[in-house]
Amino acid sequence: MSARKIVGIAHGPSTQWVFEGTQVRVIDVKRDVRVSGPSAVRAYAAMGLSDAEISAALVFEFPPMRAAQLEVEFVALTVHCECGDRIQATVSNQDVLVHCTCGRSWRVPLRLEASIEADPDAAVESDLQPGNEVISLDALLLARAQQVVDR
């Protein structure tokens, strides 16, 4: 049986990356293998994913689908002023100006910035390519375990 393709399924404004013909999300495979290792691999194999499909999920790079944006729905915050007072405020737009009873004002800017630092837990470092049928899961898991030990 050949490995199923990873496809993007639109769900409103977001996209879920799954194996074609399944509801198995790539993000779940990546997270579960990172957290649980071999037991997660066995669980996904029991659900019908092949070694090649699990390996493809582990090296899958999510393509940009839209510009990143910040949507503030409701944020509560407490500003601890220099004077010793604390002011509670809610944020309902992308900037909030908090006024203390002492007369000081504090601007709390909210913005979304891409980080140049990679998340060390985000993926297994590998030169493997998605779809490569010769990927050894044991080698991937061993490499991941070594990364954790090296930290």
Of residues 83 and 48, the one with the higher pLDDT is: 48
Instruction: Please check the confidence at residue 5 and state whether its pLDDT lies above 90.
Output: yes
| Digit-coded pLDDT (tens) for 120-138 | 555 444 333 444 333 344 4
> What's the pLDDT at 112?
75
The answer to whether residue 85 sits within a structural domain is yes
One domain for residues 23 and 55: yes
| Digit-coded pLDDT (tens) for 63-112 | 888 887 766 677 788 989 888 888 888 877 667 888 887 888 988 887 77
One domain for residues 32 and 85: no
The answer to whether residue 121 sits within a structural domain is no
One domain for residues 33 and 85: no
The answer to whether residue 99 sits within a structural domain is yes
Of the residues 67, 95, 119, which one is the last residue of a structural domain?
Answer: 67
Of residues 65 and 27, the one with the higher pLDDT is: 27
One domain for residues 91 and 39: no
Q: Which domain holds residue 98?
A: 75-108
* Range with the largest mean pLDDT of 10-19, 112-121, 142-151: 10-19
The answer to whether residue 103 sits within a structural domain is yes
What is the domain count for the chain?
2
The answer to whether residue 118 sits within a structural domain is no
- The 3-state secondary structure of the chain reads CCCCCEEEEEECCEEEEEECCCCCEHHHHHHHHHHHCHHHHHHHHHCCCCHHHHHHHHHCCCCCCCCCCCCCCCEEEEEECCCCCEEEEEECCCEEEEECCCCCEEEEECCCCCCCCCCCCCCCCCCCCCCCCCCCHHHHHHHHHHHHHHC
The answer to whether residue 22 sits within a structural domain is yes
> What's the pLDDT at 51?
92
- Mean per-residue pLDDT for 18-36? 93
